[in-house]
Amino acid sequence: MALEKFRAPALPVPSVEYDQRQQTDLIRALRLYFNQLDSLTPNQAESYRADQFIGGEFEGNFTGGTFTGSTIRGTTATLDTLLADYIRSNGFSGGGFVGNNFMGAHFYGGYFYGNGRYISTPYNQFESRVDQTAAAIDQAYALQLEVTDFTDSISITGVNNTRITFAQDGIYFVTYSLQFKNTTNDGQTIDIWIRYNGTDYANSNTRFHIPPRKSTGDPSYLVATTTIAGDAVNNNDYIEIMWRVSDTSVSLEYLPAVTYSAGVTPAIPATPSAIVQASFISAQFPAPQRVAPLGVSGYGKVGEVTISIA
């Protein structure tokens, strides 16, 4: 049963001078409209069965009203659950959503618009504030990182703080900046590469050349820096940054902060022997196929709906 709509009557246009017929038509139109209103007052609201709305229309406000007692697809529904079921079944196809918060476990779509200001992805930065040396030129050494700058799902683990561990699988950028010192009279070479879950990561090595010292007590310095992308296939996979030198007199050096001295030097912050940054850039590629859930529909008598109009 379709509910009757309230429609304002077409009132006659007033005449320039008093016209009894025009006034009679005006009063008759208003009387019919008020009779229509009187016949559908809130005092005469009834309980409608859900099957009475099949194929019909309902227009109006539910201020102070309830939907208690009705059953939809086997679930007792209130106004909130009716709206939630409608959204899940019908989605926002072809429309738009504007609001302050949008929360959910999964999002499906082709484009995401915005400045990305509040997107949160795993990241961290680690440091070493101690000297690190090599005991032999035929051995590789795992970089030690005893300082964690942030608290996130990328962390330092292992007995000697050498493992950069990724709690979440995905593709990551890793950037290292290592402060090397050479005290020999010859130029030396340094090799730095990535070891992934205990195995050398193919094609990850970078070779650097550090010049000979300037003079006795005045070593040469080199900052070795590289960015590399890699895929953490599983949760809690880890990498280590490995290094070797052509002479054991080449080492990683930590420089403490320098105090201001008039006419000699400005104040200079401490220089870590190593700084490593790791940040998430993407889910694994190719991404697993995701299919949005389909809506559920049905028909038939589903219960009673009581409408109370304040």
258 part of a folded domain? yes
Contact 88, 108 (CB under 8 A): no
Task: Please provide residue 220's backbone torsions phi and psi, each rounded to the nearest 5 degrees.
Answer: -95, 155
pLDDT for 100-116, tens place per residue? Answer: 677 777 766 667 777 77
User: Do 165 and 244 belong to one domain?
Assistant: yes
User: What distance in Å separates the CA atoms of residue 304 and residue 302, rounded to the nearest whole number?
Assistant: 7
User: Do 45 and 65 belong to one domain?
Assistant: no
The structure tokens 């310095």 sit at 221
User: Do 275 and 174 belong to one domain?
Assistant: yes
Is the pLDDT assigned to residue 293 strictly greater than 80? no
The number of domains in the chain is: 3
Question: Which of 260-264, 282-286, 306-310 has the lowest average pLDDT?
Answer: 306-310
For the segment 127-133, the average pLDDT, to the nearest whole number, is: 98
pLDDT for 195-238, tens place per residue? Answer: 999 999 999 999 999 999 999 999 999 999 999 999 999 999 99
209 part of a folded domain? yes
265 part of a folded domain? yes
255 burial (CB, 10 Å; 0-12 / 13-18 / 19+) is: middle
Contacts of 220 (CB under 8 A, 6+ apart): 181, 182, 210, 211, 212, 213, 214
Contact 28, 83 (CB under 8 A): no
257 part of a folded domain? yes
Query: According to the model, what pLDDT value does residue 48 have?
Result: 43
Q: Report which DSSP code applies to 50.
A: G
Structural domain range at position 67: 61-91
User: Do 212 and 271 belong to one domain?
Assistant: yes
User: Do 127 and 173 belong to one domain?
Assistant: yes
The structure tokens 């900052």 sit at 223
Which percentage of the chain shows pLDDT scores above 70?
68
User: Do 127 and 201 belong to one domain?
Assistant: yes
**Contacts within 8 Å (CB) and 24+ apart, 211-214:** 211/182, 211/187, 212/182, 212/184, 212/185, 212/186, 212/187, 212/188, 213/182, 213/183, 213/184, 213/185
User: Do 201 and 268 belong to one domain?
Assistant: yes
297 part of a folded domain? no
User: What distance in Å separates the CA atoms of residue 166 and residue 155, rounded to the nearest whole number?
Assistant: 7
User: Do 160 and 278 belong to one domain?
Assistant: yes
298 part of a folded domain? no
